[in-house]
Structure 1
């Protein structure tokens, strides 16, 4: 049985609670145990280091140490959290061997706050890597109860998941296939388009909103032109910019888009027969009705959806 220290992050517990709900529902259906790190802090989304690299390293060393105290890998379901915490983990493991004084400084701050020290004894793993590398795609395909045949899914990796860490497990950062392989495992058809590995525009949204929305709108339009029924992302921040802000994006783009955005666990969970309402699909800003209609999933009326 797979077991992880679950780091839900901020967005999935606040603005997009459906993302955490769907991750927990998926884990339960697959027999994966999640021990939630309720004392964990925000990873900082890359902003802490603008003031201090030491601050980012110390905050996230504490997050990793919480997982180490359970002797478990830290599981994220957010590309940004994975990129930030995973890179901190790489940096501190390097410091452990080559700059022990720096690691001692980090642990000194943790000690002042009565926190466990960072040891470098575990790993930081995104849900996508857990599905592909730990659970396995063949095993996942065997669990499918409702094949998502005919659904055309455009993966949106974003930037943090692929390019922040020095070592990327289970995939190629320039020509990734892990999302597309998951789509195939659950019976869906992958759609390829230019923007799938680019930034969603979220980091710009606080100071260059129009440019942020143009970036998001360009990706959505490209996915639509490629024939996608939906975009599937492993990142809550990408979900925010592509789904929650899509009406604002449409105004900037001067056109109607209306493309549903699914979080990775929502898509996979549908194939396992989990009801849409349990996955929070009704909470999305852009309606997911077209996806459910294409799959002939109408709430609890579909026999396969019994969980």
Structure 2
């Protein structure tokens, strides 16, 4: 060692799109992503001028609006010659789908892409070129970093911990092309659990909707949906649920006491963000990962790991 800082490979540098929820209600996701990527040597160049992806709501009024807003977000990453990385599966689904649609329009509907880019240039923004990728943190860990490399970084194996994945909707089914996984029978999170020493738990609801989109107008149905998933995971012996989506986390963690009251049954199962689980395995302290910020306390879960 010469004492000089090692250059980070280009494949491990990303234009970082944290999204809204991680900078607000789920601040621990922003915190744990920063802590994990630092330990793993992944460089995040945060897109400070990026805007909300719209969470799928813009297109209810205008597809052109959703495409233009997110073409701008992608163009910011293109300006850095880096892939756009997010840790929110809703953002991944929305921005990734826009990227797919505009890349297709570049070939089949150049006049539509021209309309999008005209709006961007009118606002002094760079046009969308279609020259980069949109990646979720999960795909970056599995595909770019690699599970064998990650396994070598583990200093605190999560042996004996039973983890249930909760993929959510957008990560699996919003895009036509899903890298590194099968949208109907995914294994990427379960393989990640194995790489850090944990045991994956399989249950029916792991690829289904958490109920968040219903919660503002059909609360009981949303609680029934989320509660069913939580009950199934508990019945299969899960110590925790792990999700790559902060909106799923909000529904399953922050509303879990309400869900339990609705069901008339105690649940009390911790819901972890993906980088929190991996962060524990590579030796990051629980508080540095924001595990003290959860509504459902993580104490029993951490005690099982001897923390």
Mapping 1:173-184, distance limit 5 Å: 173-184=183-194
CA distance in 2, matches of 1:93, 1:247: 44
2:17 corresponds to: 7
How many residues get paired?
Answer: 297
TM-score (norm 1): 0.96
Once the two structures are superposed, the pairs formed by residues 85-100 of structure 1 within 5 Å of their partners are: 85-100=95-110
In the aligned structure 2, how far is the partner of 1:109 from the partner of 1:250? 47
Matched, 1:194 2:204: yes
The aligned counterpart of 1:224 is 234
Hey, what's the Cα distance between the residues in 2 that align with 1:250 and 1:60?
37
Instruction: For 1:201 and 1:268, locate their aligned partners in 2 and report how far apart those are by CA, in whole Å.
Output: 26
Structure 1 counterpart of 2:155? 145
1:32 aligns with 2:47: no
Deviations 1:187-228 (A, max 9, x none): 000000000000000111111111111111110110000000
When the two chains are superposed, the root-mean-square deviation of aligned CA atoms in Å is: 0.5
Distance in structure 1 (CA, Å) of the matches to 2:264 and 2:53: 35
Distance of 2:148 and 2:172 partners within structure 1 = 23
Decide which of 101, 107, 113 is 2:117's aligned counterpart. Answer: 107
Deviation at 1:272, TM superposition (A): 0.5
Counterpart residue number, 1:17: 27
Superposition pairs for residues 147-186 of structure 1, below 5 Å? Answer: 147-186=157-196
1:56 aligned to 2:59?
Answer: no
Alignment TM-score, normalising by the size of structure 2? 0.96
1:155-177 Cα offsets, whole Å, 9 max, x none, are 00011100010000000011000
Q: Map Cα deviations across residues 240-261 of structure 1 (whole Å, 9 max, x no partner).
A: 0000111111121111100000
String of CA shifts for 1:94-115, please: whole Å, max 9, x gaps: 0001100000000111111111
1:47 is the counterpart of 2:57: yes
